[in-house]
Every structure is written in C-alpha cells, then in structure tokens.
Amino acid sequence: MFVAPNSLQWNRQRLLSLLCRKWGLKPSKMLSLEPRKWITPTKTINLPNARHVKTQVEYFGQISIGSPPQNFTVLFDTGSSNLWVPSIYCVSPACAEHARFHPSNSSTYNEVGTPFSIQYGTGSLTGIIGSDQVTVEGITVVNQQFAESVSEPGSTFVDAEFDGILGLAYPSLAVDGVIPVFDNMMAQNLVELKSQTYPLLLLNRNPESSAGGELLFGGFDTSHFSGTLSWVPVTKQGYWQIQLDNIQVFNSVVLCAEGCQAIVDTGTSLITGPPSDIKQIQNAISATPVDGEYAVDCNNLNMLPDVTFTINGIPYTLSAEDYSDGMAICTSGFQGMNIQPPAGPLWILGDVFIRQFYTVFDRGNNRVGLAPAVP
C-alpha cells in the first residue's frame, strides 16, 4: 500500500531549497563484521514503482493517523526525529495542496497544545503538538505525539509529493522532547526482537530495479545486498553520524585525509560537504557551472573518475553514472554546504550515496550497516 520512495518531480533548485531550509543554510555558489543470521522483519513496507531521476530521490510512503484513519504520505527522514503533518487549520499554500489532519474527526485524538516550531533557512514551520494513534503498515503506535503544522514557510513544500515528514533519527534531535515514532514502537513492544537487537532498516534497492525500495522494521533481508554487511559505529547519537576515513577521486584527489564526520541522511537528496572540498571534487570530475549549478557531460560518463568514500576501512565507490542524474546534461550530485560548529563541519551522505547501498540503521547497537545493493 506504499507509494514510491523515489523521484520527487521537483526541479533541482527546489530540492536544493529544501536541503538548505532543513539545515538553515545557503548552499555555496562555488560550487567488516560477519552478518547476523537472517533477522525476520516485524513489518515490511514496500515502496514500489520508482521513477529513477537520479539526483531527485527521496523515500516516502503512506501512514495513517487517528480513528478512523486519516491517510498521509510522509518522507521517511533519518536526519530528523519528529513526525509532522499539515493541520486542517493551516492557511499556507503548501497545506492547501496536501492532505490535512482534522483532529475533530478522530475519536482517539488528544490535544497536547504545546507550540511547535522548526526553523528553516527562510522561515519556520509552526504548529501545535497533538496525540493520536499512528499506523505504519499495520503497526499501530498509540498515544503518539506529533505536530500539526498551521504555517509552512515559502514554496518549498508546495510541490512536494509528500504531505509531512516522519523522522527516524535519535530522540535527542526531537523538538519539544517528543518521543519519536520508532522509539514508541520499541517501548510498546511492537517491533519483534531477534538476537537482542532493535534494527530499523531503510532499504534502497539498486536504482536499476523497477521495484523501488522497502522499509523494514525489526530486520533486514539478505537477498537485497551482495557480500556481507559492514558495520560502522555511530559516533554521536543525534543524527546517524559516523566517521569517514577519507574521500578519494580516482586515487588522486584525497579529501578528509585525517578523517571527518558524516551523517547518513535519507532526507537530503545530494552529497554535501565543506565548499572548498566540494569544489575540488567538482574540478576533479570536470563539472562545469551551469545556471548556478554544476554539470558533467553525459556523453562522457565512462571517462569520468569514480569517487570513493572509505568508511571503517571499507571503500564505497560511486561511478560517474551514480553521482550524475543521467539527463542530457548530467547534474553533479555534490553540493557545497558550510555547516558550522558545534554540528559541523559535517559531510552529509544523502540519497545520491544511499541509493547504491543497502542501509541498516541499528538502534539496538548504535551502528549503521552498509552493503552493495542488488536489484
């Protein structure tokens, strides 16, 4: 019953706008362990019928809130922790184009009334906190607090193919101390445990697969990746933050030579990093400025260098086809983003990276598992 997790039919500028609003920034103008035995998932969410517009990928699917259920399409975001959907009382143009939650139509709704605000680059999404039952593919979480947005800034969400966002990061990122949906699943014993672990998995199958992807709670599927999962410890429990050993472009340009921090974020479309480092990558892959962006020649992709991210001693390589969008003029999947301390400096491994690798977000052991995805 889930829709595709994949290409949002936005243009790239709209995607960059969402990325910058999420992080409150302006983009630069320069710009292994043996696997566990098969762990049976408690629930599998199929995300079919992907349209692979390669740098325009997000993961979204359906949930319901309330009794009787009110359906919403949400972005599954490992870079945030709150659930929010538009309220029936929202007056912003973005809300008018999407499903809106009507609290008086739900017999299980309880008003919490706490003001809610998430700051974006050009404004803030504001609303109030409510509580109701939330169902994700047959898993019903009771007394789940969520935000009902009454104001959504600018035009970022107007054309989005999702109504709201369901955050899958750690509780420390949650605005107003709201317990995230997945944490409530664990607390309410809704996720079946195997091998004493609480795995949450977001699978993006190989982009050549027509099946799209799937989201599993409580397990992972060995048939969708090759080799073994390589586990990477989470270095800071907020985002899914890990250590990068280094980044190489065709064994010549070496960035992050002494290691650097990165987050694995399904809610960010591109791969971002410090503007000076991204500029070196753009130069190394022969990307040229086009209308304020960077592009590579699609006719010569086989001549362009690979970009390799080494993580916990394991290389993860992206070919030119992987980091470009495959159109007549291929847009670079790299973007400069200057994230200041204390959060930064920070690389973001967004969907340009994630779609090539089967990814396990393991809360029980505070680690991320990666392996090459297969169709």
Q: Which residue has the tokens 């980091």?
A: 323
Neighbours of 10 (CB within 10 A): 20
Count of alpha carbons within 13 angstroms of residue 347, beta-carbon side? 24
C-alpha dihedral over 233, 83, 62, 64, to 10 degrees? 130
Distance from C-alpha of 180 to C-alpha of 177, rounded to nearest angstrom:
9
> How would you write 55-113 as a 3-class SS string?
CCECCEEEEEECCCCEEEEEEEECCCCCEEEEECCCCCHHHHCCCCECHHHCCCCEEEE
Distance from C-alpha of 101 to C-alpha of 92, rounded to nearest angstrom:
14
* Coil, strand or helix at 23: helix
What's the DSSP call for residue 176? G
Active site residue 163: no
Q: Which residue has the tokens 């014993």?
A: 189
Of the candidates 163, 183, 265, 325, the residue annotated as catalytic is 265
Which residues sit opposite 139 in a β-bridge? 136
DSSP secondary structure of 199-248: EEEEEE--TT-TT-EEEEES-B-GGGBSS-PEEEE-SEETTEEEEE-EEE
Active site residue 265: yes
Q: Tokens for 266, please give them.
A: 């399904």
CA angle, 259 as apex, 256 and 260 as ends, to 5°? 80
Where in the sequence numbering do the catalytic residues fall?
Answer: 77, 265
